Chains A and B, each alone.
Chain A
Amino acid sequence: MSVRKVEIKEEEIEEILLLVNRMYGYDFTSYSRASMQRRIARFMDDARFKNFSEFKFSLVNDTSVFDYFLQRITVNVTEMFRDPQFYTAIRKQVLPEIASYPTIKIWHAGCSSGEEVFSMAILLHEAGLLKRSKIYGTDINPSNIEKAKKGILPLEVMKEYVANYIHSGGESDFASYYTARYENAIIRKDLREKVFFSQHNLVTDQVFNEFQLILCRNVMIYFNSQLQNKVIQLFYNSLSTFGFLALGIKESLLFSDFKNKFEVIGSHEKIFKRIQL
C-alpha cells in the first residue's frame, strides 16, 4: 500500500473557486478553506480524476461534472428534529412569543432537503398555529429544493426521526404525520401546504420578506468570518423587531460583529433574539 497521499494546493483551490464563480455563477470564494479543501479533495478522489488539470478540464467542459461537483461540495446532511433539545426550546420559548403575530412567517435558510422545515410544520401544527403560518425553506442547491418540494423521505430513516421527535417532547403519534408507501414516507398534505421551497443563495441574494423566526443551522460553519458577518446582517435586516434567530448547536454570534445586537435566549440551543439598538 502506498502511504503517500495527494494533496490539493491552496492556489489550486482558489483557481477552482474563481472558475466556478465565473462560469456557473456560484460564489464559494468566501467559504472557509479547511472544509472546502477537504471536500474538493474528496470530490476529485470520488470522481477518479488523476490530477488537477484533468479535474479542471472536466469542470470547465462538462456541465454534468459541475452538477455533481455542486452536489458534493455543498453539505446536504440533515434530519428531522435534529438536536431534539433544540426543538424543545423552540416549543417552549419561541412559539409562545411569536404566536401573537396574526401571520407567522418563518425562514429556514439552507434547508437542504427540507427535513427540519417539516419538523417545524409539525411543531406549529401541535401548537395550533400552522393555519396562520407560512414557512419558507431555501437552499443554494436546486436538487435539494426539488427533493424538498416532493416531501418524500425514505421510510427507514423515519424510525430514527421518531426517537428525535419523542426526545423533543412530541406527544402525538409521529406516524400520523406521514403516509407510508413501499419504502417511502410522504409528509401529510396539510403540513406541506404551509411550506414554500425555493432556491436562494445567501452569498448573493437579498432580503425577500420579514420574518419572526429565521433558522440557519449548520450552514454558516462553512463560511469565513467576513461572509458570516454579511449573512448575519442579512438575517438582522430580515427579522421583525424582537424576531428570533436560531443557529446550529456549535455556532455562535460571539465571534461576529453582531454579538451586541442580539440577546441570548438559549445559550446551548443557540437561539437569539433581535434587540433594538
Chain B
Amino acid sequence: MNKSQKEELVVIGGSAGSLTILLRVIKKLPDDFSVPVIIVIHRQRNVLSEFTTILTNAFKNKKIVEPDDKNPIDGSCIYVAPQNYHLLIETDYTFSLDYSEPVKFSRPSIDVTLESAAIVYKSNLTAILLSGANNDGTSGLISVVQNGGAIIAQDPETAEFAAMPASAISTVPGIVVLSPDEIAAYLTGINSK
C-alpha cells in the first residue's frame, strides 16, 4: 500500500435524488484519481439493488467495489456501502460491517460511516452530503468537523430533495455549500494535493 492511499478519504452520502448527481460527479473525476471514495446511499431493504451495477456499467475504467468485511481500503477504488449493513472503518484501514438496527430508518446509515471515518482519518477526511429527504448525515458531519475534516453539502437549490443538505447546513457551522460541478472540481483538487 503506498502512502497516498492511506492519507486521504472521501465519503459521499446521498439519498433520494442523489443518483444522477453522483453519476455526474464521478464522470468528472480525472482518470488518475487515486483517493479512495466511499459512497453511502440509502436503498430499500431486502430488494436487490441495481445501484452498484449502474455504477459499474457507467464507469468501466473505475473499480467499483461493494466491500466484504475486513476488505482493505485501496486508493484506486470507489466503494459502495452494501445494502442492509452499516459500513465502518477500522484503524488499520480495513472495512468492518455491522448488522445492528437501522439508524434514522437507514442501514447503511450515513451518520455511522461518517462517525467511524472521522475517528480514523481525522483532518484527512472530506465528507460530502447530497440530495435526500431525511436528515441522515447531519450528526456524522458534526463528528467530521470535530475531528478536523472538511465538510461539504450539495447546494439545496440544485438538489431534487433539499431536506438532507439543508438540515446539515442549518446545524453544522463551517459547512461549504457547492453545486455538483463545484463538488467534482473540489475532489479533483484533493487528488492533486
Contacts and interface: CB of A to CB of B under 8 A. Distances in A.
A7 to B, nearest CB: 7
Given A7-B143, A37-B119, A38-B115, A77 B70 contact: no
Contact of A3 (B67, B68, B71, B173): B173
Nearest to B112: A38
A130 B114 CA distance: 46
A251 B69 contact: yes
B171 A5 contact: no
Residues of A contacting B: mostly: loop
B50 to A, nearest CB: 15
* Nearest 8 Cβ contacts at the A-B interface: A34-B88, A252-B68, A255-B70, A218-B99, A75-B100, A35-B98, A221-B97, A221-B69
A194 interface: no
Contacts of A33: 90-91
B99 A221 contact: yes
B116 A228 contact: no
B64 to A, nearest CB: 15
A50 interface: no
A37 B98 CA distance: 12
A39 B99 contact: no
Contacts, number: 89
A1 B98 CA distance: 29
Interface string A214-227: 00001011101100
Contacts of A5: 139, 142-143, 146
Contacts of B90: 32-34, 224
B96 A221 contact: yes
A48 interface: no
Nearest to B138: A3
Nearest to B82: A250
Interface of B: 46, 66-72, 82, 84-86, 88-91, 94, 96-101, 112, 115-116, 119-120, 139, 142-143, 146, 171-173
Contacts of B97: 218, 221, 248, 250-251
Contacts of A252: 68-71
Given A35-B98, A250-B85, A254-B68, 11 more contacts: A5-B142, A34-B90, A37-B119, A38-B98, A75-B99, A84-B46, A218-B99, A221-B69, A249-B82, A250-B69, A251-B69
Contacts of A113: none
A222 B86 CA distance: 12
Given A3-B172, A5-B139, A77 B99 contact: yes
Contacts of B94: 255
Nearest to B113: A34
A228 B96 CA distance: 12
Contacts of B85: 221, 250
Contacts of A220: 69
Interface string A2-28: 011101000000000000000000000
A249 B89 CA distance: 18
18 contacts: A1-B171, A3-B171, A3-B173, A4-B142, A35-B100, A37-B119, A38-B112, A163-B46, A218-B99, A221-B69, A221-B98, A248-B99, A250-B66, A250-B68, A251-B97, A254-B68, A255-B70, A255-B94
A235 to B, nearest CB: 16
B92 to A, nearest CB: 9
Contacts of A133: none
A128 B156 CA distance: 58
A255 B68 contact: yes
A84 B67 CA distance: 21
A29 interface: no
A221 B99 CA distance: 8
Query: Interface centre among A7, A37, A221, A222, by most B CB within 10 Å?
Result: A221
Contacts of A38: 88, 98, 112, 115-116
A54 B82 CA distance: 37
A164 interface: yes
Nearest to A31: B96
A249 B146 CA distance: 34
B100 A77 contact: yes
Contacts of B101: 77
A143 B150 CA distance: 43
Given A32-B96, A34-B96, A250-B97, A7 B171 contact: no
